[in-house]
Amino acid sequence: MTELFDTAVTSLLHLPEVLDRLGAAAGDRRSAGDHAHHAAHGHGQHRISGIGGGAPVDIMETPGEYAFVLDVPGLSKSDIQVTLEEDRVLVMKSSNGAGNGKRKREEEEGECKYIRLERRASPRAFARKFRLPEDADTSGISARCENGVLTVTVKKRPPPEKKTKSVQVTIA
């Protein structure tokens, strides 16, 4: 009976990974609430388009920058890669080996033995890509991971100055 329970618990631990894969296969990761928010606030098109699936990401915009925030519990700085592809595609992913679903088992020492071993799964692997808008300053990207939360900040370029041209009016 205990083995059956342990198997069921292990299966439930992997449920988020299965749901992530299903969401990625479906393509559109926005929730109904996201659709309603964008419709209500006149956001016809997303300025930042997501590519792929994986860990849920919050994207915030201020007058001076964009911020991408995602949870990466259990991953260290060396487990996380943030890169820029094709000058416009922001890539955030776990590096090779990180988030592989296997936890390094602590060694039993001396008289110590495991009575229960439930923390089998390590942090989940993730990979997210976002096409940045034209006003993103790709030279101004920074990333910070604190308390299991990764925040990637992309500065905005100032808007171009509007040029005005006087047109001479002729009288006919």
Which pLDDT belongs to residue 146?
93
Structure-token match 């699936």, residue found: 53
Higher pLDDT, 47 or 43: 47
pLDDT tens, position by position, 102-116: 555 566 677 887 788
Q: Identify whether 162 is part of a domain.
A: no
Which pLDDT belongs to residue 37?
45
Q: Identify whether 10 is part of a domain.
A: yes
Among candidates 163, 164, 158, which has minimal Cα distance to 64? 158
Number of domains in the chain: 1
Structure-token match 């949870």, residue found: 71
Q: What average pLDDT score do residues 112-139 get?
A: 82
Q: Identify whether 165 is part of a domain.
A: no
Q: Identify whether 74 is part of a domain.
A: yes
Q: Which domain holds residue 72?
A: 2-104+117-156
Which pLDDT belongs to residue 63?
94
Q: Identify whether 110 is part of a domain.
A: no
Q: Identify whether 170 is part of a domain.
A: no
Q: Identify whether 15 is part of a domain.
A: yes
Q: Identify whether 124 is part of a domain.
A: yes
Q: What is this structure's pTM?
A: 0.60
Which pLDDT belongs to residue 29?
46
pLDDT tens, position by position, 62-113: 999 999 999 988 888 888 999 999 989 999 998 766 555 455 556 667 788 7
- For residue 145, is pLDDT > 70? yes
Residue 140: give its domain's CATH number: 2.60.40.790
Residues 6+ apart with CB under 8 A from 17: 101, 124
- For residue 137, is pLDDT > 60? yes
Which pLDDT belongs to residue 1?
60
pLDDT tens, position by position, 7-46: 665 565 555 555 555 554 444 444 444 444 444 444 434 4
Print the SS3 string covering the chain: CHHHHHHHHHHHHCHHHHHHHHHHHHCCCCCHHHHHHHHHCCCCCCCCEEECCCCCEEEEECCCEEEEEEECCCCCHHHEEEEEECCCEEEEEECCCCCECCCCCCCCCCCCCCCCCCCCCCCECCEEEEECCCCEEEEEEEEEEECCEEEEEEEECCCCCCCCCCCCCCCC
